[in-house]
Structure 1
Amino acid sequence: MRLVRHPVLCNYYVTYRCNARCSFCDIWEKPSPYIQLRDVEKNLRDLRELGVQVIDFTGGEPLLHQQIDQFLKLAHDMGFITTLTTNCLLYPKWAERLRGKLDMLHFSLDAAVQERHDQGRGVACFDFVLESIKIAKSLGERPDILFTVFSENLDQAEAVYHQIALPNNLMLLLNPAFTYNAVETGPPLTLPELEYLSAFGKRRNVYLNEGFMQLRRDGGNHAAAPVCKAASTTLVISPENELVLPCYHLGEKKFRIEENLKKLYQSEEVRQLISLEGRLPACEGCTINCYMQPSFAVELNSYFWKALPSTLKYNWQKGTWKRLLRQAMV
């Protein structure tokens, strides 16, 4: 049973450019412009009318955009829940200007050992993460540690938790790695590894969407009976000011946003593509977290109930449940 029929999230790519060279990501290989303030202002108004609640300004590395603080202020002032993930190379420079504009600030950290983290990211950014934690806390911010989980770094989860997350009273977000296109992410997590993560996710100050775990045990999305609701829950906007469908990772079709995002999203051609969400050949076996998370939140099924405890836990600790509740009542 569908609970929410409007989009709830916008993945807004401010640029595909990145100052890291992560081995599990190919976005930094793409040439890219930067989004324009004029377009952001118009699109945010339409996103609000469409019912979107959360704006994730993403990339690439979003802090490469010289107006990122202005985008966040616009979205925050309009009542959106704002999120941003950074490798922290530029956060010390931006910290003061971002203060108070972010509801969910994620610092990427994949190991408690400098050499291992920096090797996976392709640049020396470990020390910047630690520095950024100190700066953010001094400003009254509460960043999260986003730990992308592979079989090869699973042994680092305990150390990151005990040495970095707990001492700083930060949430540790466990983000199981996923494959897409030709990007190599190593062997998939085994069933024992998934069980270990599930148990880990129940700890204090740890977030793990148990829906992710169940989806992997079930072999991912199945095109014949899709759980993925990527296109109807999430709007993807490119740095070229295009609406990308059904999701960024497939990018089957891109529509130029000509002044009116709402009208475009409600057009017949877009609606037809949305109807194919999760049913395309490339959707078979998909486990991409950033689209499954909103998918689990809008339809009453087994994944909804699996995801609910962790979602409530995270939003309670971050305080965002109050704003989500107010928005749901409007």
Structure 2
Amino acid sequence: MRLVRHPVLCNYYVTYRCNARCSFCDIWEKPSPYIQLEDVAQNLRDLQRLGVNVVDFTGGEPLLHRQIHEFVGLAHDMGFITTLTTNCLLYPKYAERLRAKVDMLHFSLDSSEKEVHDKGRGVACFDFVLESIRVAKELGERPDILFTVFRENLSQLEAVYRDITQPNGLVLIINPAFEYNSVATGEQLITAELDYLSAFGLRKGVYLNEAFIQLRKDGGNHVAKPVCRAASTTLVISPSNELVLPCYHLGEKKFPINGQLYELHRSAEVQQLAALEGRLPACEGCTINCYMQPSFAVETSKYFWQALPSTLRYNLAKGTWKRMLTR
């Protein structure tokens, strides 16, 4: 049963440019402009009209945009729940300007060992993560550590929890890696490893959406009976101010927004393409977390009930649960 008919999330790409070269991502290879403040302001007003709750300012590396603090500040002041993930290379520089504007601030860290983390990210950013934790805590911020899990770094999870997140009072977010297009992430996690993650997710100070685990055990999205509700739950806005459908990773079609996001999203052409969510050939086997998370939240299914406990705990810890209910 569908519980929510309107979109709940906007993945707002401020730029595709990145100062890292992660082995499991190809976005940094793309040429890209930077979003403009006037477009952001108009789009946020339209996102309000559409019923969106959460705006994730993403990239690329979002802190490469010199106005990022203005974007998140505007969205936060308008009542959106704001999220931002960074590799931390620029966070110490921008920390003061971002202060109290990002509800869910995520620092990417995939190992407790500097050499391992830096190799996966393609740049030396491990020390910047540790420095960013120190700076954020001094400012009264509560960042989370986002750990992207592959078979090759699964053994590092315990040390990151023991040595970094727990001593600093931070939430450890377990983010199972996913494949898309031609980007490979190595061998997929086997059932025993997925079970290990499920058990780890029950620990204090750890957030894991258990529905991510079940979806992988089920072989991902299936076009004959799709789980994915990417296009109806999530708006993707490109750095060129386009609405991208059905999701960023497929990007079947891009519609220029031209100050008319509300009307564009409700247009027949967009809605016809949105109706194909989860049913396109490339959707078979998909496990992309950033679209499955909102998909699980809008209709009752076994994934809804598996996702609910951790989602409630996390929003309670972050203090965002009241706004989730009132928007």
TM-score clears 0.5: yes
After superposition, give the CA deviation of every residue in 1:2-27 in whole Å (9 maximum; x if it has no partner). Answer: 00000000000000000000000000
After superposition, give the CA deviation of every residue in 1:64-123 in whole Å (9 maximum; x if it has no partner). Answer: 001000001110010000000000000000000000101000000000000000000000
Q: Which residue in the other structure is 1:57 paired with?
A: 57
Q: Which residue in the other structure is 2:263 paired with?
A: 263
Q: Percent identity?
A: 77
After superposition, give the CA deviation of every residue in 1:189-238 in whole Å (9 maximum; x if it has no partner). Answer: 00000000000000000000000000000000000000000000000000
| Counterpart Cα distance in 1 of 2:21 and 2:71 | 25
Q: Which residue in the other structure is 1:91 paired with?
A: 91
For 1:288-307, what aligned pairs fall within 5 Å after superposition? 288-307=288-307
| Counterpart Cα distance in 2 of 1:147 and 1:120 | 12
After superposition, give the CA deviation of every residue in 1:6-62 in whole Å (9 maximum; x if it has no partner). Answer: 000000000000000000000000000000001000000000000000000000000
Question: Which amino acid is the alignment partner of residue 28 of structure 1?
Answer: W
Give the secondary-structure state (helix, strand or coil) at the position aligned to 2:152.
helix
CA drift at 1:184: 1.3
| Counterpart Cα distance in 2 of 1:144 and 1:16 | 23
| Counterpart Cα distance in 1 of 2:288 and 2:148 | 12
Question: Which amino acid is the alignment partner of residue 94 of structure 1?
Answer: Y
Taking only aligned residues, the RMSD between alpha carbons, in angstroms, comes to: 0.4
Q: Which residue in the other structure is 2:82 paired with?
A: 82
| Counterpart Cα distance in 2 of 1:211 and 1:103 | 23
| Counterpart Cα distance in 2 of 1:178 and 1:202 | 22
| Counterpart Cα distance in 1 of 2:276 and 2:25 | 26
Give the secondary-structure state (helix, strand or coil) at the position aligned to 1:167.
helix
Question: Which amino acid is the alignment partner of residue 182 of structure 1?
Answer: S
Q: Which residue in the other structure is 2:23 paired with?
A: 23
Q: Which residue in the other structure is 2:147 paired with?
A: 147
For 1:309-324, what aligned pairs fall within 5 Å after superposition? 309-324=309-324
For 1:177-256, what aligned pairs fall within 5 Å after superposition? 177-256=177-256
After superposition, give the CA deviation of every residue in 1:236-258 in whole Å (9 maximum; x if it has no partner). Answer: 00000000000000000000002
For 1:155-166, what aligned pairs fall within 5 Å after superposition? 155-166=155-166
CA drift at 1:325: 2.0
Question: Which amino acid is the alignment partner of residue 139 of structure 1?
Answer: L
| Counterpart Cα distance in 1 of 2:319 and 2:70 | 23
| Counterpart Cα distance in 2 of 1:104 and 1:223 | 32
CA drift at 1:326: 2.3
Question: Which amino acid is the alignment partner of residue 205 of structure 2?
Answer: N
Q: Which residue in the other structure is 2:128 paired with?
A: 128
- Structure 1: gaps (5+ residues): none
| Counterpart Cα distance in 1 of 2:133 and 2:322 | 25
Give the secondary-structure state (helix, strand or coil) at the position aligned to 2:314.
helix
Give the secondary-structure state (helix, strand or coil) at the position aligned to 2:168.
coil
Question: Which amino acid is the alignment partner of residue 319 of structure 1?
Answer: G
Question: Which amino acid is the alignment partner of residue 74 of structure 1?
Answer: L
Q: Does 1:100 align with 2:100?
A: yes
| Counterpart Cα distance in 2 of 1:271 and 1:206 | 37
| Counterpart Cα distance in 2 of 1:218 and 1:103 | 32
Give the secondary-structure state (helix, strand or coil) at the position aligned to 1:173.
strand
| Counterpart Cα distance in 2 of 1:271 and 1:325 | 26
| Counterpart Cα distance in 1 of 2:270 and 2:317 | 37
CA drift at 1:321: 0.7
| Counterpart Cα distance in 2 of 1:40 and 1:217 | 39
Question: Which amino acid is the alignment partner of residue 10 of structure 1?
Answer: C
| Counterpart Cα distance in 2 of 1:302 and 1:113 | 37
Q: Which residue in the other structure is 1:44 paired with?
A: 44
| Counterpart Cα distance in 1 of 2:173 and 2:284 | 26
Question: Which amino acid is the alignment partner of residue 137 of structure 1?
Answer: K
TM-score by length of 1: 0.99
CA drift at 1:322: 1.7
| Counterpart Cα distance in 1 of 2:168 and 2:238 | 35
CA drift at 1:316: 1.0
Aligned residues: 327
